[in-house]
Amino acid sequence: MSNSQEIMHHNCLENIYNFLQLSDKIATSGQPSKEEFSQIKQAKYQVVINLALPDSPDALADEKQIVESQGMEYIHIPVVWENPTMENVKTFFQAMEARVDKRIFIHCAANRRVAVFMYLYCRLYQGVSEEEAKKSLEQIWVPNTTWQKFIQDVMANYHSI
């Protein structure tokens, strides 16, 4: 694939709802369409992590099959919007740490759950400063009270999860 084709594929990813490229190996977004999963594969992502619920807006009932048929690994960690848990974030951290050598695409319904989980992952596992991590988070949203409390709880109890 030539560089111009690769750039074209990258630009296609930017059309996915709330797409955000965090690093050369990690990108996040809201819910991709069936067609957009093909673009994710063409952009050489190897793993898709979905934090949305099966009944989230625009959720694809056959998403696991769509992703796996493209030859990508699929991980589903359903996070209830009003009640994110320590278990959710622990499972997410484990999934990320087990795949540090892979290109990972993470999504939920609107990239809000993912933005918070990635903020926490960047702070706790990648040593990113609060200021830097907040820049990416706030490109998507400023967390509401539920999610602010969740961030504080995870940061305070990180060593016990």
DSSP state at residue 43:
T
Domain ranges of the chain: 3-154
- CATH class of segment(s) 3-154: alpha beta
| pLDDT tens-digit readout, 49-60 | 999 999 998 999
d(CA 107, CA 28): 5
Spans in the chain with pLDDT lower than 50: 1-9
Q: Would you say 48 and 75 are in contact if contact means Cβ atoms under 8 Å apart?
A: yes
DSSP symbols for 70-122: TT-EEEE----TT---HHHHHHHHHHHHTTTTS-EEEE-SSSHHHHHHHHHHH
* DSSP helix/strand/coil, 21: strand
Give me the pLDDT at residue 12, please: 85
| pLDDT tens-digit readout, 124-141 | 999 999 999 999 999 999
Give me the pLDDT at residue 4, please: 39
pTM of the entire predicted model: 0.92
